[in-house]
Structure 1
């Protein structure tokens, strides 16, 4: 199969379902969360955001993060990421053996205040402190810029401002940057504008990534627009679950199986097997007690349609 011109030959997917997907839900037992992670590994995922080291009072669903990490354990070829909000969370994650730390900061001042109770500038300082701890431990830090494609509070945010923030985060010690469409405001036009500004601004750091939400049904087309820019790293959530409780419209993430099915059809390699991945979506559906929003989870990939 010939891959369409300009698209990457391979794509890395970080599944955030065990963290972002379960975070807004009623708490799920540690053993069940481990079962979900194991199912994702069995499907071929090599990069998984396993848990968040946050206050269990603030986010009850993430209690027991250290236990989840201990149960999964370090494995060759597997990157176990942990979301951390501050230096204390980073210390706990590093003690638990996290292979990567993810930190969030918003390009929207209002959202940043609501999400982490800090100004964007204060978050930059916090990320610098986290990066110092991670560097001493030999662990990479991915800084996720929320509302990178628009804010539900301020509306449009200048792409050059996104690029400038990314540059400051790299200077602060972040080893990679992920641009997040927190409330599903992205369009292909906006994706091209932001990624163009990042490229023109000379933002360095390992492989920029995208974290897309499907609030308005545009996540896949936005992913394709990013592929045209050479983006080969994406955050997705098995089953399409997830979202922030601090921003209206922060609905489900781009479903992992939806992106994998599209990439399979394009001939772009992910190393992920679609049928075991759909089985993992069935597991998360069981854990939350309701159907997941992913169409591919319910109907299978296009290739299954003509075999049935």
Structure 2
């Protein structure tokens, strides 16, 4: 049975869950950033177009990080220049600093994201900065971007566990996250960078943000599936009121600065869950599966997504 002919799960709405979830698709950026073989820009552009055609409306297209650190994304300007932007689709880009913001503004982007750490050690290893110094670096980026009319998302990594520091206290994550929101970030994505979170921990962190007067509508979640908990953790976040979930088509990606991290939550697996819970998402699952099968062929290896493998036979 081909992907388009495959059935969907029965929709059984559950009380207390968001009626609709926005899927923040990170495959083109986070999914591809640590591929060892350079993916041609033409393939990336087709990937983005196929994802938009499948109904995804937020596609994180690339990053303006220095090519020395992420060679895979050295073609950011070329990609954005060749992008066929679809009406109703956002194409945010990751911006590491003010130089990256300059490049983003020159490329005419309308939505950027910054990437901060909730822990001292990861800030040092990933950003070459202390936990406090990173905010001094990000504040002018956010301020300038907002002044230029751009939307700004804040990623916060190591929100649940750090390979060097262990469990990260919820209060520590909230302090770091609130600083990004106070700068002017309109959304904060809570990252389980090494995939160690469990459902109780997810509920606790979101509750702690609420006690600190951060509305749940400002929060998104970004789970990795290292211990097979990404979908369970997603449902816990949905039950806590989160309505934006990051995912990567086909389960591509990880984190190049955290060796123990495995792939992102697969978008197809997320769509299957949302469909079964009766939550609107706007995605054509068959078209998305076909896209991930195509991309797996470009990369020369099968997709790790369970749903892709179940439906693509």
Please state which band the TM-score falls in when normalised by the shorter chain.
over 0.9
Structure 1 Cα separation of the partners of residues 49 and 297 of structure 2: 15
Structure 1 Cα separation of the partners of residues 85 and 305 of structure 2: 30
Range moving further from structure 2, 204-213 or 31-40? 204-213
Tell me the SS of whatever aligns to 1:253: coil
After the TM superposition, which parts of structure 1 deviate over 4 Å for at least 4 consecutive aligned residues?
none
Structure 1 Cα separation of the partners of residues 289 and 127 of structure 2: 33
Is contact 1:170–1:204 with CA below 8 Å preserved after alignment? no
The alpha carbon displacement at 1:248 in A equals 2.5
RMSD: 1.5
Is contact 2:216–2:242 with CA below 8 Å preserved after alignment? no
- Correspondence 1:46 to 2:54: no
- Correspondence 1:8 to 2:14: no
1:221 aligned to 223, 232, 249, which one?
A: 232
Higher relative contact order (CA 8 A, sep 6+): 2
Once the two structures are superposed, residues 65-94 of structure 1 have per-residue CA deviations (whole angstroms, 9 ceiling, x without a partner) of 112112224443111010111111111112
- Correspondence 1:124 to 2:159: no
Structure 2 Cα separation of the partners of residues 108 and 166 of structure 1: 11
- Correspondence 1:269 to 2:280: yes
Range moving further from structure 2, 165-174 or 8-17? 165-174
The alpha carbon displacement at 1:122 in A equals 1.6
Match of 1:102 in 2: 113
Structure 1 Cα separation of the partners of residues 311 and 204 of structure 2: 33
The alpha carbon displacement at 1:279 in A equals 1.1
- Correspondence 1:178 to 2:189: yes
The alpha carbon displacement at 1:238 in A equals 0.6
Range moving further from structure 2, 178-187 or 52-61? 52-61
Call closer, same or farther: CA 1:185–1:256 in 2, change over 3 Å. same
Range moving further from structure 2, 241-250 or 8-17? 241-250
Structure 2 Cα separation of the partners of residues 273 and 51 of structure 1: 23
2:155 aligned to 124, 137, 144, which one?
A: 144
TM-score of the two chains, using structure 1 as the length reference: 0.94
Match of 2:8 in 1: none
Range moving further from structure 2, 19-28 or 111-120? 111-120
Point out where structure 1 has 5 or more consecutive residues left out of the alignment. Answer: 302-307
Once the two structures are superposed, residues 97-116 of structure 1 have per-residue CA deviations (whole angstroms, 9 ceiling, x without a partner) of 22211111111211121112
Is contact 2:186–2:218 with CA below 8 Å preserved after alignment? no
Tell me the SS of whatever aligns to 1:3: coil
TM-score of the two chains, using structure 2 as the length reference: 0.93
Structure 1 Cα separation of the partners of residues 122 and 260 of structure 2: 12
1:23 aligned to 19, 29, 33, which one?
A: 33
Point out where structure 2 has 5 or more consecutive residues left out of the alignment. Answer: 1-10
Tell me the SS of whatever aligns to 1:214: coil
Call closer, same or farther: CA 1:115–1:287 in 2, change over 3 Å. farther
Tell me the SS of whatever aligns to 2:60: strand
